[in-house]
Amino acid sequence: MMELIKPGTKIDFIGKLKMFLGISGLIVAIGLGVCLAKGFNLGIDFAGGTVVQVKFNAPIALDTIRKGLEAEIGSNFTLQNFGEMDEVLIRVRENPDMSLQAFQDSIKAALEAEFASYSPTIQRVEQVGPQVGDELKKKAYMAMIFSAIGILLYVAIRFQLFFGLSAIIALVHDIIFTLGIYSISGKEFSITAMAALLTVVGYSLNDKIVIFDRIREKLKAGQLAGMGWGELINKSINECLTRTVMTSLLTFLAAISLYIFGGEVINGFALIMMVGIVIGTYSSMGVAAMAVYLMRNNIGSKATKAAAAK
């Protein structure tokens, strides 16, 4: 069996508690700051509007296209290359006061009038109303809330409540960081990106469950009395280290392959998976396990002392 981490490795994760707290606090602060300051490039799934995908026979500057279209549809639109430099997405934030076919014909006429030498071809036209976009946003929020409640209940029932709370803290940490990176990238946040985010939540949770399960096995074996919570958690993480690193590395390689070769449609999904895998692996050891230690060793010990004093 391939071993990236030598058997018997004894890394003192608990001893680096303050370092992990500092790194994680910085990650959350930066992630929140970026999300609030820069926001997201919402796709039509959430923002509503119309998207027109156009293909030219040669690359053309976006500024040139913008000048040619402003006279026809105004300035309330954005342009973005879609995969290759000869394909462009025209995103109109508000739906035009005309039928979808009439709008498509007007765009086509404007493009052919201005860029006939580039042989523009309309590949697709999509339109989402503002009410549909708002409804999708509500459903996306509800999906995140219900998934968090489900995770808390599952982990609390299978293990103990403080394990569930630790998992939620770590997952919130992962989501904030992933969203921050996605905001910086400027990629379109669509239903596909939302699906990737929920996939990351499931993957990250699975990684934490493995470590929690190892801790529970040692608790059942009565090893806590001989070593204390700090040593028990350290030993559990070290024993899972090879499995955690190997699984994350192989999944990351699959995600990066999707990012490089999957094309623009799946590019955002792959980016979220790549970032989520990295931060999820870190948080399993540096956030979830540390939260378990702090809750059980500090809060639990205070409750025990209070009960003994009474």
Return the CATH number at 187. 1.20.1640.10
Task: Answer whether residue 26 shows pLDDT above 90.
Answer: yes
Per the domain annotation, does 109 fall within a domain? Answer: yes
Q: What pLDDT is recorded for position 33? A: 93
pLDDT (tens digit per residue) in 53-94: 888 888 888 888 888 777 766 767 777 777 778 888 888 766
Q: Are residues 25 and 59 in the same domain?
A: no
Candidate from 34-48, 72-86, 176-190, 274-288 with smallest mean pLDDT = 72-86
Give the pLDDT confidence of 113-164 residue by residue, as tens digits: 888 888 888 888 877 766 666 777 788 788 888 888 888 888 888 888 888 8
Helix axes 17-38, 161-185, angle to 10 degrees: 50
Query: Do 37 and 149 belong together in one domain?
Result: yes
DSSP the chain: ---SS-TT----TGGGHHHHHHHHHHHHHHHHHHHHHH--EE-HHHH-EEEEEEE-SS---HHHHHHHHHHHH-S-EEEEEESEEEEEEEEESS--SS-HHHHHHHHHHHHHHH-GGG--EEEEEEEE-HHHHHHHHHHHHHHHHHHHHHHHHHHHHHS-HHHHHHHHHHHHHHHHHHHHHHHHHT-EE-HHHHHHHHHHHHHHHHHHHHHHHHHHHHHHTT-HHHHHHHHHHHHHHHHHHHHHHHHHHHHHHHHHHHHHHS-HHHHHHHHHHHHHHHHHHHHIIIIIHHHHHIIIIIIHHHHHHHHHH-
Instruction: State the pLDDT confidence band at 223, using cuts at 50, 70 and 90.
Output: low
Do 153 and 248 have their domain in common? yes
Task: Give the phi and the psi of residue 184 in degrees, each rounded to 5.
Answer: -60, -40
186: number of CA atoms within 13 Å, CB side?
4
pLDDT value, residue 225: 67
152 and 212 in a single domain? The answer is yes
Q: How far apart are CA 165 and CA 159, in angstroms?
A: 11
Write down the pLDDT at residue 110.
82
**Is the pLDDT higher at 136 or at 198?**
198
Count of the separate structural domains present in the chain: 2
Give me the pLDDT at residue 252, please: 93
* Claim to verify: residue 188 and residue 290 sit in the same structural domain: yes
Among candidate residues 96, 128, 160, the one where a domain is terminated = 128
How many CB atoms are closer than 10 A to CB 127?
Answer: 18
4 within domain boundaries: no
What local confidence, expressed as pLDDT, does residue 303 receive? Answer: 44
When pLDDT is cut at 50, 70 and 90, the band that residue 273 belongs to is very high
* Residue 179 domain flag: yes
pLDDT of residue 25 exceeding 90, the answer is yes
The candidate with the shortest Cα–Cα distance to 189, out of 257, 49, 197, 79, is 197
Same domain for 120 and 188:
no
- The region, left, alpha or beta by phi > 0 then psi within -120 to 50, assigned to residue 3 is beta
Question: Domain check: are 162 and 69 in the same one?
Answer: no
pLDDT in tens, 91-110: 876 666 667 777 778 888 88
Q: What is the pLDDT of residue 96?
A: 64
66: in domain:
yes
What pLDDT is recorded for position 306? 44
Percentage of residues in the chain having pLDDT higher than 90? 23
Query: Does a structural domain hold residue 122?
Result: yes
Q: Which domain holds residue 173?
A: 14-43+132-309
Same domain, residue pair 226 and 297: yes
Residue 24 pLDDT greater than 90, yes or no: yes
pLDDT of the residue at 305: 43
Would residue 9 count as lying in a domain? no
Whether residue 3 is contained in a domain is answered as no
Looking at the fold, whether 120 and 183 belong to one and the same domain comes out as: no
Q: Are residues 95 and 220 in the same domain?
A: no
Tell me, yes or no, whether 116 and 139 share the same domain.
no
